[in-house]
Amino acid sequence: MTPGDEEKKDKKDEIEATESEESVADSQEGYVDDPSLEDAGMPVASEENIAEAEKKLAEAGSGDGGSDIPTDSDTTEKSDDPESSDEDGSDSENDEGDEGDEDGDGSQMGLLEHLGELRVRLTRAFIAIAVGMVACYGFAEQMFDILMEPMVKVFQQQAAEKTLLPADFYESFRTILTEMMGERGFKNTEQIDLFVNTLQQSLMQLGQEGHFQYTYPAEAFFSHIKIAIVAGLFLVSPYVFAQIWGFIAPGLYSSERKWMIPMAIVSAMFFTSGALFGYFVVFPFGFEFFAGFSTEGIQFTPKLNEYLSFCLKLLFAFGFVFELPLFIFFLARMGMVSSAGLRKKRKYAILIGFVMAAVLTPPDPFTQCLMAGPLIILYELGIWVAYFFGKKEKRHLKKQAEAEAAEQAEMDAAAEDSEEQTEKA
């Protein structure tokens, strides 16, 4: 080999070495400039770091009997067993649901779920009212007479005050007629009392200034249907209120849900009591007041449908008004009101009571006062209900503070005991 050939060979080797070094540098630059690594923002681990991490992992596995860090094989085994993953997931979900129920939060319900729950509750309530209507329709005529009785008594009272003949006339006529017919051999003298009483009632009806009337042929029939529906509602009112409280129950704690059935029964009792108060107390005074405006030129002749609507409106109004103490009880148990706060706002409550009475009753001051008076009394009753059952009352807060102080003292004593045992050890 000539010296020229040796020089060419040396230059060729140098060129190849330079190209190999440039290729290595380019590969390293490409690895460092990998866009995926730059986007992730994570540092690139060197081989020494990887070796050191594997060494620590092996030491931890050998010392603790197993590593808490899942390996690729563990993940593949878990992914290959879908049943186990589903079971674990369902168990965890059930545990979370149980904890939610114990805490009282319950499961989260969406708007559509709330609307679906409301639809179910309303459907059940309407079905119950329909069943109650069918059960009460057989007694619709008797209930119709009972509902008409307050106004009929007002008519009879007015007729008695403006009789065609005095009451002494009928007594004298009965005595004379009995003696005269007995002397002439009349055998049915015991029927004379019935005859005189019937004559007296007939003459009273002739002098009566008002009576019920209806102009639509089917108005009396639909009146019986309406009365049967209302009577059925009062009959199944505990179940209806149970559906209402059942719709509210998902928003309450588990300790408060046990009050649902008693609350439904008490709600029905207050609702029925309000209707009875309206019938036995308000109706006689109200109808006498309204009928007192009739004169010789103005006769009071109530229309059947209007009278029935007026009565039912008052019954429902007084029924809902009597729910006020129960409503205050519910707010007091939630800690939203207190007896002291209700006392401070008494004047506003009186004003609101008269406004509600004006809205719920006909536009006359007499009926408004008959409703506003009981409403104010029920508000005062609600103040005492809040005093005995409210969460924000001073005595309840004092008991709660004493219980918390006792619990804190027990915890401090337990901590001191543990410190003493530690020092002795």
- pLDDT interval class at 234 (50, 70, 90): very high
- pLDDT, mean of residues 405-412: 79
- pLDDT interval class at 235 (50, 70, 90): very high
Does residue 40 surpass a pLDDT of 70?
A: no
Does residue 324 surpass a pLDDT of 70?
A: yes
Does residue 373 surpass a pLDDT of 80?
A: yes
Question: Residue 231 in contact with residue 141, Cβ under 8 Å?
Answer: no
- pLDDT, mean of residues 122-142: 93
Q: Give the tokens for residue 201.
A: 């009632």
> Which span out of 25-39, 85-99, 112-126, 359-373 was modeled with the highest average pLDDT?
112-126
Rounded to whole angstroms, the Cα distance separating 347 from 345 reads: 6
Rounded to whole angstroms, the Cα distance separating 407 from 399 reads: 12
Residue 46, pLDDT score: 64
Q: Give which of 209, 210, 204, 211 is closest to 164, Cα–Cα.
A: 204
- pLDDT, mean of residues 205-210: 54
Question: Residue 232 in contact with residue 129, Cβ under 8 Å?
Answer: yes
Rounded to whole angstroms, the Cα distance separating 73 from 61 reads: 15
Work out the mean pLDDT of the chain and round it to a whole number. 75
Question: Residue 44 in contact with residue 37, Cβ under 8 Å?
Answer: yes
Among the listed ranges 19-33, 147-161, 347-361, which one has the minimum average pLDDT value? 19-33
- 311-316 — which CB contacts under 8 Å span 24+ positions? 311/147, 311/283, 312/226, 312/230, 313/360, 314/278, 314/282, 314/283, 314/286, 314/361, 314/367, 315/230, 315/275, 315/278, 315/279, 316/275
Does residue 250 surpass a pLDDT of 50?
A: yes
Rounded to whole angstroms, the Cα distance separating 165 from 174 reads: 14
Does residue 124 surpass a pLDDT of 90?
A: yes
Q: Give which of 223, 219, 205 is closest to 141, Cα–Cα.
A: 223
> Measured between alpha carbons, how far is residue 226 from residues 166, 231, 233, 234 in Å?
40, 9, 11, 13
Rounded to whole angstroms, the Cα distance separating 59 from 53 reads: 10
Q: Give the tokens for residue 228.
A: 């049967």
3-state secondary structure 51-93: HHHHHHHHHHHHHHCCCCCCCHHHHHHHHHCHHHHHHHHHHHH
Does residue 55 surpass a pLDDT of 80?
A: no
Residue 38, pLDDT score: 47
Question: Residue 129 in contact with residue 236, Cβ under 8 Å?
Answer: yes
pTM of the predicted model as reported, rounded to 2 decimal places:
0.58
Give the distance from CA 314 to its chain's centroid.
23
Does residue 348 surpass a pLDDT of 50?
A: yes
Residue 340, pLDDT score: 85
Rounded to whole angstroms, the Cα distance separating 139 from 250 reads: 39
Residue 177, pLDDT score: 83
Q: Calculate ∠ Cα 386-390-392, nearest 5°.
A: 120
**Token pair 């148990």: residue:** 333
Does residue 140 surpass a pLDDT of 50?
A: yes
Residue 286, pLDDT score: 81
Residue 406, pLDDT score: 78
Torsion angle of the four alpha carbons 105, 106, 112, 115, in this order, in degrees rounded to the nearest 10:
-90
Question: Residue 165 in contact with residue 203, Cβ under 8 Å?
Answer: yes
Does residue 65 surpass a pLDDT of 60?
A: no
- pLDDT interval class at 194 (50, 70, 90): confident
Q: What is the pLDDT of residues 252-289, one digit of tens each?
A: 777 777 777 888 888 899 999 999 998 998 888 888 88
Q: Give which of 309, 311, 233 is closest to 271, Cα–Cα.
A: 233
Residue 104, pLDDT score: 44
Residue 135, pLDDT score: 93
Among the listed ranges 119-133, 147-161, 392-406, which one has the minimum average pLDDT value? 392-406
Does residue 71 surpass a pLDDT of 60?
A: no
Does residue 66 surpass a pLDDT of 60?
A: no
- pLDDT interval class at 122 (50, 70, 90): very high
- Burial of 209-244, coded b for 16+ CB within 10 Å and e otherwise, reads bbebebeeeeeeeebeebbbbbbbbbbbbbbbbbbb
Among the listed ranges 21-35, 108-122, 173-187, which one has the minimum average pLDDT value? 21-35
- pLDDT interval class at 396 (50, 70, 90): low
Residue 240, pLDDT score: 92
Does residue 22 surpass a pLDDT of 80?
A: no
Does residue 106 surpass a pLDDT of 60?
A: no
Residue 33, pLDDT score: 47
